[in-house]
Chain A
């Protein structure tokens, strides 16, 4: 195992300590060593934004804590939902009295633990509502969209919800825009290698040399198909052929494109893929309003990429363009 770690059982704790020390301008720890928050949270008069999930997806989830973004995050073990207590503590850290929007991905553990945390918060009189991201198209057919996983599209949901809250939106408005953001987003991953959870010590799966795993999940869940490795233009075509008809995205749409590496794929290759994706979208008459290309939502050192496309309306456009400051996403007001 080629990793910079100390005790494999303590990687999450060690990472969090480093993260808090590295970014005191944005981040602070809390009474729960597994809950991290924006240093100014709870922000007076603002709806709190909370998320959480298993570790191993840097910069997600903690990298999206910051100004006009996420207020508090519950940090689980690698690829494992945080327990209810952590989600609950994150909710209380984020609540300024205006209520809390908990925006997370569709995984059975997260669903159960968030439900328990929401009950606990409601008993304490905290207003809390949730949006569950399910943007990963290959994980279930459109007829069973409620079974789909949440993947990199979650970032766009946090961006939109975080901006709406910062603009002064109430809890219902924040929830509505986050819901719209994820409903308008479709994602798909292609994997080129597995990854190793430090405590397990060996890769969770492998992709044979010269092959690729189409529709791979963010935790190494096998994809829908293993095919020969194709050139970037064909991979881009394959991704667009799955994503575009599913919403559907059509001529005249304005979109955000988020192309994230899965961990070990060079950013150079992401731009090669993006170049091909742009050609396909532009040939289809779809206009790219904004692009994010880089390691936005990874799976330890998996090789591969996830493409997410979100269809915009005026409200989402305003939210996406809104100033934000977090370690994983930083942009200035135009």
Chain B
């Protein structure tokens, strides 16, 4: 079975931090169209705080994800702090204690993280939120495991589902969160949470593919 080690997996968190830092403006611009334009700023602030903490005190993938989750939850605020905080912490707890991480471990972690968010957030597919990315991505990953596809192939399918989910938010009317208050006027713009969520899953997938190639 193809796996990567929890130790070398910390590189995925390095990549996540970098991708959020690089897309700070892009995410704020999307949010500015129908929200208040701070999504990229706040994500960047949280992920950068995590970078500083990891530089002082590095660790493996589950440690790094847990640290990221705790920082987002306790220090960032907004709606994204608790949501992403809970996502990454649940992800971390699911991987904790595993030396090697394979396809099924990743699928289980994604599945429990999405489950944790569904407890906090009432959003479902079609509400124009990050759940429009997460739920189909999780389902794609679940199906890939059921069909016993290779790890690399499975995360490719997850990425494709995430991108389709992200793009599907453009024509949706927001039902939950700040942009829901715009009613039909929220149509025509991508949801910023869906955009950041897609970046995160894409980056996890490309990180995994680099790790399993080596």
Question: Footprint of B on A, CB under 8 Å?
Answer: 9, 76-86, 107-109, 112-113, 116, 139-140, 147, 149, 197, 199-200, 204-205, 217, 219-222
Contact = CB atoms under 8 A, between A and B. Distances in A.
6 contacts: A76-B77, A84-B81, A108-B79, A109-B82, A197-B36, A197-B37
B98 interface: no
B77 A204 contact: no
Contacts of A9: 45
**Residue of B32, B37, B42 ringed by the most chain A CB atoms within 10 A:** B37
B181 A140 contact: yes
B130 to A, nearest CB: 12
B187 interface: no
B38 A108 contact: no
A34 to B, nearest CB: 9
Contact of B177 (A79, A108, A222): A108
A200 B179 CA distance: 19
Interface in B162-192: 176-182, 185
A147 B182 CA distance: 11
Interface string B107-149: 0000000000000100000000000000000000000000000
B65 interface: no
Nearest to A221: B181
Contacts of A199: 38, 41
Interface in B33-84: 34-38, 41-42, 45, 73-83
B37 A109 contact: no
Contacts of B185: 222
A220 B36 contact: yes
Instruction: Tell me the dominant secondary structure on chain B's binding face.
Output: helix
A204 B79 contact: no
A82 B79 CA distance: 9
Given A78-B38, A80-B38, A200-B28, A147 B181 contact: yes
Contacts of A147: 180-181
Nearest to B46: A83
A324 B99 CA distance: 61
Contacts of B73: 83-84, 116
Nearest to B81: A83
A77 B181 contact: no
Contact of B79 (A112, A139, A140): A112
Contacts of A219: 35-36, 178
B181 A81 contact: no
Contacts of B83: 112
A78 B28 CA distance: 13
Given A78-B38, A80-B38, 11 more contacts: A79-B38, A82-B77, A83-B77, A86-B77, A108-B79, A109-B77, A109-B79, A116-B73, A200-B32, A219-B36, A220-B37
Nearest to B40: A200
Contacts of A85: 74-75
The 4 closest A-B pairs by CB, nearest first: A83-B77, A109-B79, A219-B36, A109-B78
A77 B38 contact: yes
B77 A79 contact: no
A79 B38 CA distance: 8
B41 A149 contact: no
B178 A221 contact: yes
Contacts of A197: 36-38, 41
B76 A83 contact: yes
Contact of A77 (B35, B77, B79, B178): B77
A113 B82 contact: yes
A139 B181 CA distance: 6
A205 B29 CA distance: 11
A200 B24 CA distance: 10
B182 A221 contact: yes
A84 B181 contact: no
A113 B81 contact: yes
